[in-house]
Amino acid sequence: MTTPKTKMNKSKAIINIFLVFIIVFSLFGFTSTCKNKVVLTDVETTLLNLINQERIDNNLNALKINSKLTKLARYRSEDMIKNNYFSHYDLKGNRVICGEILGYIWGDKVNDFEFLFNGWLESKSHLAVILNPTYKNIGIGFSQNSTGDIQIVTILFSSR
């Protein structure tokens, strides 16, 4: 015979089991809530805001951060710092990707990302990439050497 107290105990047990499953699944990465989210650094956020403001000022849509592009952009910047090169080509001589903008900062311009951005605006080819209306997504990767006196930024654009 079930009593109201028995029903309440069963309900509590079911809720507790459900909560345990939620905790276990989230601990082991089975939830997809934040799977495709990426947290930008302050530098990456600054550059994203500058690029999107330039696009908006030119009647274009703001670009959305893409986690895969950001991971690739970060990898590119880190690889160039680690292997001491700066190029749109990888170390094997292959062109890495179209829709790529690179920035190299050193000396008294370290941490001057507006200077870097303004340099891109003064370059017809870089500006054409920034203002390309087919691009919808962006990935930004920033890296610097161990002493912080050399910084590299990779920005990747995508239409999908």
Q: What does the pLDDT read at residue 25?
A: 38
CB 65 within 8 A of CB 136: no
Q: What does the pLDDT read at residue 140?
A: 98
* Total-model pTM: 0.75
CA neighbor of 145 nearest in space, from 102, 114, 113, 110: 110
Query: Domain segments of the chain: what residues?
Result: 42-158
Query: Which residues, 6 or more positions from 79, have their beta carbon under 8 angstroms from its beta carbon?
Result: 90, 91
Q: How confident is the model at residue 21 (pLDDT cuts 50, 70, 90)?
A: very low
CA atoms of 44 and 55, how far apart (whole Å): 16
Q: Is the pLDDT assigned to residue 10 strictly greater than 80?
A: no
Q: What does the pLDDT read at residue 115?
A: 95
The residues with which 143 forms a beta bridge, in sequence order, are: 152
User: DSSP readout, 23-86?
Assistant: HHHHHTT---TTTT--PPPHHHHHHHHHHHHHHHHTT-PPPEE-HHHHHHHHHHHHHHHHHT--
Q: What is the mean pLDDT of residues 113-137?
A: 97
Class of CATH domain 42-158:
alpha beta
Tokens read off for 110: 């370290």
Q: Is the pLDDT assigned to residue 94 strictly greater than 70?
A: yes
